[in-house]
Structure 1
Amino acid sequence: METYGFTSLPLIVRKVMSEFHASDLASNLKDLDLECDSKPLQRSLGLSWDVNTDNFLFQLSSENKPITRRGILSTINSLYDPLGFLAPVIIQGKLLLRKIVSETVDWDQPLSDETAAEWKSWRDTLIAIETLRIPRTYVPYLSKTATKELHVFSDASEKAIAAVAYLRTTDSSGEPNIGFILGKAKVAPTSGHTIPRLELSAAVLAVEITQTIVDNLDLHIDNREILHRQ
């Protein structure tokens, strides 16, 4: 690799670390041997980055919260997911919370057996989240990108609206690759909105995340091709 000007990540990290006094390093880096030890996980609240595999992963709290309105809200808010990887899961918890609120349950009052069973069923699905491994990069390493396309989808139902964005690239040989960029989901209003109106709200959400992506990534968007609706 050095012949072609590439440097391994541990070497780069070692050079950076050498510029700091040991007392200024994070506790998990002070005695780290980058040749022998496993690379550390970099954490931001519940979202972690595995330096070894260059994947994002989630490490959830094992604390069992009380099965009350307050406990459910605390559990849902503990799922830190800024990019929307877990949106399909989190939105189910938010829908259940809305159901509980509509039942005018006190914050610390135990839930009914039926609602508690629904909550436990949803909570049990969270275990699978820790097995997720999501690539940090949008395109494979060392691939020469020939074309870049931003694809944004939106949809709505009586329960929720959502939008998601992907980056589709092709390399010089024509091989395609899809990378997840950003997703968002919101609970739909309880009444007074038709499906077409909710679909328009989802389209607005799609435009919002598109603007966020265009503002932060080096992507050229042709305005003549930005919208297509089937």
Structure 2
Amino acid sequence: MFSHDTIETILKIFYVDDCLKSASSVTQATALIRDITEVLREGGFHLTKFLSNSTAVLESVNELDRSSAVLNLELSDLPSEKTLGIQWNMANDSFGVRVNIKQKPHSRRGMLSMISQVYDPLGFIQPFMLPMKRLIQSLCNQQLDWDDPLPESAVEDWNLWLDHVPLLKNVSIPRCYKPPNAVIVSTQLHCFGDACETGFGAVCYLRFVDSNGNIHCSLVLGKSRVTPLKPVTIPRLELVAAVTTVKLGTMIVQGLDYDVNNVLFWSDSTTVLHYIHNTARRFQTFVANRLAIIHEHSRPSQWRHVGSKDNPAAVA
């Protein structure tokens, strides 16, 4: 018989043919590798390309079954490798951003092609990406064709953005949410939303409290969007941001292995908070439809007010 952890890993942690799993100790990790390999071998599947930030775990794996990134390296010198498109620096166990944009013509098509080369599923660099998305939207508003030359001002903004792309290599986000060797007594998920005339966004953080009362916060996920071309009032945009926030928080809770004690949603819009807490009044269709989503995934008591200057979602 195999452990519950082994079976749950096989059923839930595989993404197509990749398995990403965290373990709290070397012993647990090596046992998982052994058991998962044995289970899948019975079905005719041979697991290979193992990677770990622990040299002890890698040493427990047959050298031929290790990833090519560590196959011919000294295990004391762990490399940086892509994991589901995210750059993982195994030496310091952190996520980073490595972007190599191939130059395209200065046109709407070319700009869209270059932006599409940046893969950011966890939203680490959304504040960097949104200005260029807004630029592309403004060019659409000018009714430029896909291959028309861009206005000089747009080319200048675009080239300035490209000049700053190499600085993304300095972005480093710890992979592990929890602080090392801490006994966690409380886990909360805090989700923030914000909007302005040109865009809206949301970001979620895990907040841990350990047995000594120390507090540790970790970035989980961020998301940003440009506002629609059709003019929308700021209160309505803030409501759209609140919908994005609650959807993001719900997705995270469903995907986390942690027992989250409390989920809190934050907005700096008092109008949106009044909307959410007013369950008796009937609103116009636009507001009513979005409130229905918010109330489906959260309770009014979970929503709090945060000052605009203290709202981390404003960065997006």
Counterpart of 1:9? 54
Counterpart of 1:112? 151
Q: 1:91 to 1:137 in 2, by over 3 A?
A: same
Alpha-carbon shift at residue 62 of structure 1 (Å) = 4.7
3-state DSSP class of the match of 1:28?
helix
TM-score with structure 1 length normalisation? 0.87
Alpha-carbon shift at residue 66 of structure 1 (Å) = 2.2
Query: Is 1:129 aligned to residue 168 of structure 2?
Result: yes
Q: 1:26 to 1:137 in 2, by over 3 A?
A: closer
Query: Is 1:167 aligned to residue 243 of structure 2?
Result: no
Unpaired segments of 5 or more residues in structure 1?
Answer: none
How many residues align? The count is 220
Query: Is 1:229 aligned to residue 274 of structure 2?
Result: no
TM-score with structure 2 length normalisation? 0.65
Alpha-carbon shift at residue 6 of structure 1 (Å) = 5.7
Separation in structure 2 between the aligned mates of residue 65 and residue 46 of structure 1, nearest angstrom: 22
Q: Show the 5 A alignment for 1:90-105.
A: 90-105=129-144
Q: 1:28 to 1:6 in 2, by over 3 A?
A: closer
Q: Is the 8 A contact 1:46 1:58 kept in 2?
A: no
CA deviation digits over 1:18-37, x for unaligned, max 9?
1x6x3x654333322214xx
Q: Could you tell me which amino acid in structure 2 is paired with residue 186 of structure 1?
A: R
Q: Is the 8 A contact 1:69 1:106 kept in 2?
A: yes
Q: Show the 5 A alignment for 1:32-51.
A: 32-35=73-76, 38-44=77-83, 47-51=86-90
Alpha-carbon shift at residue 186 of structure 1 (Å) = 0.8
Unpaired segments of 5 or more residues in structure 2?
Answer: 1-24, 28-52, 264-298, 307-316
C-alpha RMSD over aligned residues: 2.1
Q: 1:52 to 1:162 in 2, by over 3 A?
A: same
2:226 to 161, 173, 187: 187
2:241 to 180, 185, 202: 202
CA deviation digits over 1:168-214, x for unaligned, max 9?
11111111111001111111112341111111000000010010011
Q: 1:138 to 1:164 in 2, by over 3 A?
A: same
Separation in structure 2 between the aligned mates of residue 45 and residue 80 of structure 1, nearest angstrom: 10
3-state DSSP class of the match of 2:218?
strand
Counterpart of 1:79? 118
Separation in structure 2 between the aligned mates of residue 199 and residue 114 of structure 1, nearest angstrom: 30
